[in-house]
Amino acid sequence: MSARDNHGTAPPWGDEFQVIGKRHRKVDGLAKATGQAVYTDDIALPGMLHAKTLRSPHAHARILSIDTTRAEALPGVHAVITGASMPIKYGVIPWTPDENALATDRVRFIGDEVAAVAAVDEDTANAAIELIDVEYEPLYSYTDPNESLERHDPAIHEGNKHGNVSKHVELEFGDVEGALDGADVVVENDFFFHGSTHTAIEPHCAVAQWSQDTSAEGLLTVWSSTQISHYVHRALARVLELPETRIRVIQPNLGGAFGGKSDPFSLEFCVAKLSMLTGRPVKMLWTREEIFYAHRGRHPMHMHYRSGATSDGKLVGSDAKILIDGGSYSSFGLVTTYYSGQLLTGPVDIPNYRFNSTRVFTNKPPCGPKRGHGSVQPRFAFEIQLDELACALDIDPIDFRRKNWQGEHTKTVNGQRITSNGFMTCLDEAERESQWKERRGKLADGRGLGVAGSMYISGTNYPIYPNDMPQAGIQIKVDRSGLVTIFTGGNDIGQGSNSVVAYLVAEELGVEVADVRVVAADTDLCPVDLGAYSSRVTFMVGNAAIDAARKLRKQVVESVAKHWEIAEAGIRMGGGVVLDLADAERTMGVREAFQLAEADHDTLGSTGSYNTPELGGDYRGGTIGASPAYSFTAHVAEVTVDRETGRITCDEVWVAHDCGRALNPMLVAGQMEGSVYMGVAEALLEEHDVNRFGLHSGPSLLDYRIPTTLDTPKINSLIVESVDPEGPYGAKEAGEGPLHSVIPAISNAVYDAVGIRLRHLPFTPAKVLRALAELESDQTVEQS
């Protein structure tokens, strides 16, 4: 589907959906439940070698020499590679290619990849790594982003025009100074959002097999735990200097991603190169520690916000200055820098808005996209300011948001088109279910309720590399057996995208979900999809799936109508059966219908695609953050603060999320729950940082504390369906939006509970105790 044809939101057959909107098993659920599902590290190929990476022990250093002779001489070692083996730089954003598969001349953080070895087994590969002699010249290293802003010598990336600044964006919409001058209340504060990382439970892994075929280059197959096969495919071709036709990328079952498997990673290039050099399959499985170095997690942001409102409760403007700690490489940083400002302009209307965001390099593991990429941090600051304004004006914070709601089918101040917008219903639901009115302000001391809201994109019309081709494609094969096979380049990372396309196609073709098979994320077999990021899959791949299925449906209906000699409108399909609406006695199975169509139209198959309409503001960067539809969320959090220990317990969260339409409410709820869990963890427990030596402060699942069952609040998922005019049957996204506002909601709830404003994450008990002590001394001063 292109922007030009829209398939509408109505059920394809009659008044009611038959598959959509109901609870269904996932297409791969039982394969996962029984242990049959194959993940990358489950692959074992005959003669497979095992590879390991040598990493930099320095935070910043020049590589003077690398000597691999001792490693190569070790029995069992088959190949050793260094940066010289793959000197071409790459980067997920084509404008900022600053990464090498292995360091060529310089290392930029402790853990940066320097060399790789393939050997008969892991023990031998590990032993060989220790035999590689590298001479380094340590350089001054940066851990404080403020320093990177000021100091440019040494530059972390030599030749970067802006010293250690990775990206700077400054945009103003309206007249912020004028608006704030005219405000009755202005709040102004510093905020800090810390770093956190994804920790998908599956470690990154890649397997490569180079085989001979009729071409001179041979054929390279790479199985990888990636969430974006397409970019891995492109990056491999670039770095290995192979035509894309010589490379096949397959994503097996994926054990979680959350943005952490979006970039092309060193291990994919290394196994490919090592396989090509040795002529044997090669596997590399990173240890948990190595994944903390690979990182690409949430960017720490130092934020300064100033927002104002008039006494009647109207927000007049907001002004943001943001310093973004990017770590050592660009990754998605260009987009992050834009997102840090561009995605704030709803659901609350900001009539005048300005942001000034600067991303700098530091000698730390590189940051990238984590669930709610670039927009969770500013949302945190802004939603606390809304709470402060509401308090200052003595307006209920939910009402304050209602008063300032932007409306639906409108445009944001920065020129983004808003279609459906269910935020008001989200507020209503969260308010009602949490018994906000009855309970807020009336809870026992130490307990409180807080609210916050947010919006997020459902895909973006910025396709990372400029092109006019579809953003998502689908092929469908319909067989005389009655089986429907869908081929999709979409990456199912656990969110259930394979199931979603199966539901959509089953609905369109009137077949049972069980009779739909999905072949996914194999670049040889499936049409291109841009991958699982920016919450784009349901919206874009879903639309492409409807597009393809509708074409087939037309052929099938045509043939049945001809056979029965009735009008096409008199036919209904569903649950594997074709009905004549005028004659209840007359039915046939879809298998027979498919056979009629195959006889009429030849072998049945169709393609479908999706591309975004023209979107975005008319200024440089105006398309970054422009989405065909936005999801909306409201959170109410209930907390208990232990005044003696400073410990915050998040007891319960009500999350109301406008996902457009819940294609399978069970999967939507799962995404909402997972998002809330992850947000609460960021607020209260997790912190990804380096210590005074530039070393990761605890690269393990023991020291990086992700919540257990006992640390997760009760989560109430309230699904709101605004039915978006352009989404697949009206669907938008549910995987990232529901994370955002739970973090400020917790901060706001703590204020309600004990009167302290927490603006620096994470909310450790020590910080809470300090803030409580400050509050007490302030009050004593006031009283005296």
Q: Give the interface with ligand FES as residue ranges (CB under 6 A).
A: 201, 256, 494
Q: Which of 342, 372, 370 is nearest to 736 (CA)?
A: 372
Q: Does 34 bind another protein (CB under 8 A)?
A: yes
Q: Is the CA virtual torsion 99, 105, 106, 112 positive or negative?
A: positive
Query: What is the C-alpha to C-alpha distance for residues 260 and 640, in angstroms, rounded to an integer?
Result: 32
Decide if residue 46 touches another protein (CB under 8 A). Answer: no
8 Å CB contact between 277 and 193: no
**Position 673 contacts another protein (CB under 8 A):** yes
Range in contact with another protein (rule: CB under 8 A) among 155-163, 383-391, 504-512, 644-652: 644-652
Where does this chain touch another protein (CB under 8 A) — which range of 450-458, 540-548, 602-610, 677-685? 677-685
- Contact flag: residue 772 with another protein (CB under 8 A): no
Cα separation, 727 vs 613, whole angstroms:
12
Tally DSSP H helices, then E strands, for the chain: 20, 28
What span, in angstroms and rounded, lies between the C-alpha atoms of 630 and 626? 9
DSSP 5: -
Closest separation between CB of residue 201 and ligand FES, Å? 4
Residues in CB range of 63: below 8 A, 6 or more apart: 83, 103, 104, 105, 106, 107, 114, 134, 135, 136
Site map 177..216 versus another protein, x via CB under 8 A: ---------------------xxxxxx-------------
| Cβ-based nearer residue to ligand FES, 29 or 182 | 29
Task: Tell the smallest beta-carbon distance from residue 114 to another protein (Å).
Answer: 12
Give the type of residue at 63: I
> Smaller CB distance to another protein: residue 356 or 697?
697
Residue 699 interface partner, choices another protein, ligand FES, none, CB cut-off 5-8 Å depending on type:
another protein
Near another protein in 683-722, by CB under 8 A: 685, 693, 695-703, 705-712, 715, 717
Q: By CB under 8 A, what part of segment 433-452 binds another protein?
A: none
Question: What are 680's two structure tokens?
Answer: 């609460």
Minimum CB–partner distance for residue 35 and another protein (Å): 2
253 binds, among ligand FES, another protein, none (CB under 5 to 8 A by kind): another protein
Q: Examine residue 203 and say whether the peptide bond preceding it is cis (omega within 30 degrees of 0).
A: no
Give me 282's structure tokens.
Answer: 């090669």
Closer residue to another protein (CB): 203 or 727? 203
* SS3 at position 545: helix
* CB-nearer residue toward another protein: 4 or 692: 692
Q: With contact defined as beta carbons under 8 Å apart, do 116 and 332 qualify?
A: no
CA–CA dist 682, 671 (Å, integer): 17
**Which of positions 601-640 make contact with another protein (CB under 8 A)?**
none
- Interface stretch with another protein, choices 234-242, 409-417, 540-548, 758-766 (CB under 8 A): 758-766
Tokens of 445: 């001391």
Q: Give the nearer residue to ligand FES in terms of CB position, either 35 or 46.
A: 35
Interacting positions 545-564 with another protein (CB under 8 A): none
Site for another protein in 281-310 (CB under 8 A): 285, 287-289
Q: Which residue in the shown chain puts its C-beta closest to ligand FES?
A: 201
- What tokens appear for 324 in the block? 């973004």
C-beta of 203 vs 628, nearer to another protein? 203
First to last CA, the chain: 70
Q: Which residue in the set 669, 734, 746, 771 belongs to the binding site for another protein (CB under 8 A)?
A: 669
Shorter beta-carbon distance to ligand FES: residue 418 or 676:
676
d(CA 675, CA 216): 48
